[in-house]
Structure 1
Amino acid sequence: MDLKKVVNQFIYTASLSEIRTGKKCIINTINPHSFCEAKKDKQFAEALLSGDVLLPDGSGIVLATKILTGSKINKIAGADIHQYLLEKANLKNQKVFYLGASEKTLQLISNKIKIEFPNIKMESYSPPYKPEFSELDTSLMTSSVNNFKPDILFVGMTAPKQEKWVYANKDNIDASIIVSIGAVFDFYAGTVKRSSPFWINLGLEWLPRLVKEPRRLWKRNFVSTPLFLVYLIKEKFFSF
């Protein structure tokens, strides 16, 4: 996957209000870690780039866009698109489905939705926690979604599993908007605290999370981030 091509042709640069949702719309996010993973995983790269909207969920992507294209864009995190779509869904009395996470997390989300967005009808399904899903797993997951026929499907099964699953099953999913947002399920449920606006505005949202979860997040910060910078330097100074 070519970084210059990604920021030139695929990164979403407009405001959230301009996302067209008149037909089935698949929304993905990308950050330096997922870019580096996609460099090694062709199916993941195809899943990311085949969607309708690829949001710049990382200060590294914002920086790369500025350096390689001269364009100044804003970071749009998974939590941002989640909040935006919930507000729209509440105004339109829409149905929302959450696919992923534990039953406990989904119940916390349900409780919060009822308070904050009372006009939304919500259902959910907690798939088994495993590296890959069987045909039976996928059948149960898609059936749960399709029986409810949501306007919006949020998928939270961590990258790259969530994006690859949506990519493989998108034609069999009866939902108008499909969004892969990973850790946002835990952020919204309150089981994991998102970094404060102070760190987010500094472009350092990752830092407090790394301090809290070093064993889980060390790779993306001490391996993927430096590697991403190497890719950026190569694209800027050694690509002809």
Structure 2
Amino acid sequence: MICIKELNLLCSRAELDNLPEGKLLINTINAFSYNNARRDVLFEEALTKGDVLIPDGISIVRVCRFLKGKSRPKERIAGWDLFVYEMRKLNEKGGKVMFLGSSEKVLTLIRQKAAKVYPNLEVVTYSPPYKPQFTIEDDQNMIQAINEANPDLLWIGMTAPKQEKWAYANWDRLNIHCHVGTIGAVFDFFAGTYKRAPMIWQKFGFEWLYRLLKEPRRMWRRYVFGNTLFLMLVVREKLGI
């Protein structure tokens, strides 16, 4: 069972410079994904057996210190931070980036914005069918699209835990040699269809509260019930239960 104390996490944004080149699966973890991984074996494997795990949640950063974990991140590294870092790096030398996930509307906005912000990048997009469970044919179509595009950078945005589980389950079928990031909401942030919390909220670790206040009906269960559950699990882990 997944334990925060045993997680091997990236500890600072500076460490992004040291990531090796080639095929690399990069996932993120926060309180919500930790809760889900406790009851979803495939999701747990995706997070713990991927190549890089990023603490995308101030709660994870603080709890690692509280539990005296193997990794003690110095800061939160959001999926957005990873996105900006990788996109700028690739834009400097030029290359192809692929976005897998979301709707055609969002992907169109992404292509338009990327053309302005990252002019040296060729952008390829693929919108998978919107359904709870992909069929074998759906999987094959996505894998074929990725392999044919052969991108220099691949972003997967299907929301957690779907995106992590899909990337992990199909990893050996992806004949690519680039970094792959599962970044969910970043698609909407970059497209402009959803705004992140103001910087002051992010700085003090209250981005979750901002999202709750903006969308209480959709987010109350995730943050009110979910955060309570997270704290309970942390205490159990601290006590060795």
When the two structures are superposed, what TM-score results if normalisation uses the length of structure 1?
A: 0.94
Distance 2:227 2:21 in 1: 36
Match of 1:128 in 2: 129
Distance 1:2 1:144 in 2: 33
Query: Residues 79-109 of structure 1: CA distance to partner in whole angstroms, max 9, x if unpaired?
Result: 1101110000101212100000000100101
| Residue identity opposite 1:219 in structure 2 | R
Give the Å deviation of 1:69: 1.6
| Residue identity opposite 1:229 in structure 2 | L
Match of 1:33 in 2: 32
Match of 1:86 in 2: 87
Match of 2:190 in 1: 188
Structure 1 spans left out of the alignment, 5+ residues: none
Give the Å deviation of 1:138: 0.9
Q: Secondary structure at the match of 1:40?
A: coil
- Work out whether residues 66 and 73 of structure 1, in 8 Å CA contact, stay in contact via their aligned partners in 2: no
Distance 1:178 1:216 in 2: 29
| Residue identity opposite 2:102 in structure 1 | A
When the two structures are superposed, what TM-score results if normalisation uses the length of structure 2?
A: 0.94
| Residue identity opposite 2:191 in structure 1 | A
Distance 1:121 1:99 in 2: 14
Alignment of 1:19-168 (within 5 A): 19-69=18-68, 71=72, 73-168=74-169
Q: Secondary structure at the match of 1:55?
A: strand
- Work out whether residues 16 and 81 of structure 1, in 8 Å CA contact, stay in contact via their aligned partners in 2: no
Q: Secondary structure at the match of 1:174?
A: coil
Sequence identity percentage:
45
Distance 1:218 1:120 in 2: 38
- Work out whether residues 21 and 179 of structure 2, in 8 Å CA contact, stay in contact via their aligned partners in 1: no
Q: Secondary structure at the match of 2:28?
A: strand
Distance 1:158 1:198 in 2: 25
Match of 2:11 in 1: 13
| Residue identity opposite 1:228 in structure 2 | F
- Work out whether residues 32 and 227 of structure 2, in 8 Å CA contact, stay in contact via their aligned partners in 1: yes
Distance 1:101 1:6 in 2: 33
Deviates more, 1:73-82 or 1:227-236: 227-236
Alignment of 1:220-239 (within 5 A): 220-236=222-238, 238-239=239-240
Equivalent residue pairs, number: 237
Give the Å deviation of 1:234: 2.2
- Work out whether residues 31 and 60 of structure 1, in 8 Å CA contact, stay in contact via their aligned partners in 2: yes
| Residue identity opposite 2:201 in structure 1 | W
| Residue identity opposite 1:46 in structure 2 | E
- Work out whether residues 98 and 125 of structure 1, in 8 Å CA contact, stay in contact via their aligned partners in 2: yes
Distance 2:15 2:85 in 1: 8
Cα gap change, 1:72/1:27 in structure 2, threshold over 3 Å: closer, same or farther? closer
Paired residue for 1:197, among 196, 199, 218? 199
- Work out whether residues 65 and 73 of structure 1, in 8 Å CA contact, stay in contact via their aligned partners in 2: no
Structure 2 spans left out of the alignment, 5+ residues: none
